[in-house]
Structure 1
Amino acid sequence: LDAGSDCDNLFFCTRTLTNARNPILDVLDLLPADLDADSLPSAIPKILTYHGSVDGTSKGKNGWRRALPAHLRSCVVSYSSEISEAAKKDIWEGFMSGRYRILCATDAAGMGCNVPDVDYSIVFECPRSLSVLVQRWGRAGRSREGIEQAVNRAAVAHGSAWQT
């Protein structure tokens, strides 16, 4: 059964980054304010961030980890074409199962990403086309069951407008 592509549970938000050197600072408000030593990994929303480079994924991973209690830092991983196929498989399985809660990725995590319970899809830097942006935004809110808290937030730091 084709359910179509309408997702009433999505909200699209585009905003200018104020911390270009460390854009994760602009989206830390997505983390619950009450995370502490007793918090479980499931308290962290499932977040997929897209970065323009491998270096961006590393900086993103480190930024998220610094914001989390020590016992939750391993819930944040990076994903790019530079990791082995075995590592990619482990990361996808871990992200789908909830073992990993925040995934910082390059284009390598684009097509084929079908994780139904992503709460936030964040795009740093303007992708090469509007269709790529829409595809990345569409990573969140795929689960249509219940009341979704899925908000799709795109933080566009650099880039030019697309020509039609």
Structure 2
Amino acid sequence: MGLSAVAINGETYNAKVHKVLAQVRATLHIQAETSCYVNVGIDRPNIAWFVRHMKGGKKDLDSLDFLLPTSEKPELEQTMVFFDDINISLDALKWFLERLPLELHSQVEVYNSRRSSRSKKIVIDKFRNGEIKYLLTTEAAGMGCDIPNVEQVVQFMVPASLSIWMQRAGRAGRNIRILARAILLVQPSVFQEMRVENVDNEPNDGEVKYRKDVEQGLREWIETVECRREAAAVYFDDRAARFDDETDNEIPTQSISNQNGKRTMEPSVPNRRGPHLQGARDLLQKWRSETWRTLYCRRLWGIQCLLPDAILTAFATKARLRSREDLIAAGWSPTHCEKHGLQILHVLKVYDDGYWGVHQEEKAQRLQAVESNVYKHSFILE
């Protein structure tokens, strides 16, 4: 019997691959009673995770200004900055050289596939021994790059998937004694919503579309208001014990603060998705039907005039709506909003509180199960 093996890494892993692997285990009849599934987990407790909002796209190199030295911190830290475009990394090199003192110019270098093998070896050796502090690189320095003294990893603009980001961020803190940082710079297009026009003028009943298409797992990791370690654990089906994000606040983050003293942009409230979104939509449809039947069924206008499908979907999706002004801005009739707006907001708030309450309870149960070693030697079949 011949078996073939495929290496799964940050470039190839995704939710579909995970399901296929689970299907293979089931097809081969690998039984939990006669096998041992060892999940060492993906958590790196000595890495603090950060998301920073950029003001622009690929030309917004000023979003890297937190890497410039200050009077309080004049020396450069051992840093890898990942780019998905070689030309942008070259522009970034020029940007740094224009702003760094002359004596620090030799400490910044680019590393990419355009270099010869000999040139790449020289650069990586200098980075390893600390002669080069800032390595501006692409995926060329991803797999197999095990340099123990990297203090921080920065990703310029979102990559293709969460697994790619986790792999690149994992270059930081290979020495477990280092309190490292992983910083994802997110461009505005990731959050910019697009108006979806239907050719047949039918109401759009889907989720909100964004200008930048981002893998669902990565978007949830970016937008979560909870522990990002938990978001990654769900994506990778990691049930091993992990540290809470509260430990991140204990890691020195002086270089993360805005250099011009301005308040950094706070994370937006994430939109409802999946079952959370469907539950909100069902709730609003029920409210609309009951309200129209109770108060307006004898009117000449129909139920769509009370709350059109497109507006209902917007209300169900956008968890950030907090006032009647927000509801009107989303497109609802001011007349109906004046009469029913507070009721809509109350219904959604009660629903969200209940949803997140159950979510927190399930999270606590998972942590309790981990602590009692329920999953320590179990084989999980999807």
Q: What TM-score does the superposition give when structure 2 sets the normalisation length?
A: 0.38
> What's the CA shift string for 1:21-76, capped at 9, x where partnerless?
5443213223330289xx6xxx2101111111110110111122222111111111
Q: 1:156 pairs with 169, 183, 186, which one?
A: 186
Confirm or deny: 8 A CA contact 1:126 1:160 kept in the other structure.
no
Moved more, 131-140 or 148-157: 148-157
2:170 equivalent in structure 1: 138
Is the CA contact (8 Å cut-off) linking 1:7 and 1:142 kept in structure 2? no
Structure with greater proportional strand content: 1
Cross-structure match for 2:240: none
Equivalences for residues 14-53 of structure 1 within 5 A: 14-34=51-71, 43-53=75-85
Moved more, 94-103 or 120-129: 120-129
Moved more, 51-60 or 121-130: 121-130
Secondary structure in structure 2 of the residue aligned to 1:88? helix
1:104 shift after superposition: 0.6
| Aligned residue identity for 2:61 | I
Query: Deviations along 1:136-157, whole A, 9 cap, x unmatched?
Result: 1111112112xx3421111123
State the Cα deviation string for residues 74-117 of structure 1 (Å, max 9, x = none): 11111111110001000110100001100111111111111111
Give 1:98's aligned residue: 130
- Between the aligned partners of 2:123 and 2:171, the Cα distance in structure 1 is 16
**1:66 and 1:73 in contact (8 A); partners too:** no
- Aligned partner of 1:13 in structure 2 is 50
The 5 Å alignment of 1:78-97 reads 78-97=110-129
Runs of at least 4 residues off by over 6 Å? none
* SS of equivalent to 2:47: coil
Alpha-carbon distance, 1:7 to partner: 2.5
Q: Which runs of 5+ in 2 are unaligned?
A: 1-39, 190-211, 218-382
Q: Which runs of 5+ in 1 are unaligned?
A: none
Residue 93 of structure 2: SS of its match in structure 1?
A: helix
State the Cα distance separating 1:121 from its structure 2 match: 0.7
Give the structure-1-normalised TM-score: 0.83
SS at match of 1:20: coil
**Partner residue in 2 for 1:117:** 149
Q: What is the root-mean-square deviation of aligned Cα atoms in Å? A: 2.3
Larger helix proportion of the pair: 2
Sequence identity, in percent?
Answer: 28
Q: Do the aligned residues in 2 keep the contact of 1:77 with 1:91 (CA within 8 Å)? A: yes
- C-alpha separation between the residues in 2 aligned to 1:59 and 1:67? 13
Q: How many residues align?
A: 155
Q: Is the 8 A contact 2:156 2:185 kept in 1?
A: yes
The more displaced of 114-123 and 13-22 is 13-22
Confirm or deny: 8 A CA contact 1:23 1:124 kept in the other structure.
no
Q: Following TM superposition, by how much is the alpha carbon of 1:12 offset from its aligned partner in structure 2, in angstroms?
A: 0.9
What is the CA distance between 1:160 and its match in structure 2?
Answer: 2.4
The farther-off stretch of 88-97 and 117-126 is 117-126
Q: Give the Å deviation of 1:20.
A: 2.9
- Asked if 1:64 corresponds to 2:96, the answer is yes
SS of aligned partner of 1:11: strand
How far residue 15 of structure 1 moved from its aligned partner, in angstroms, is: 2.2
Distance 1:142 1:24 in 2: 27
Query: CA separation in 2, counterparts of 1:72 and 1:78?
Result: 14
Aligned AA (1:122) = V
Structure-1 residue corresponding to 2:106: 74
Higher mean displacement: 105-114 or 95-104: 105-114
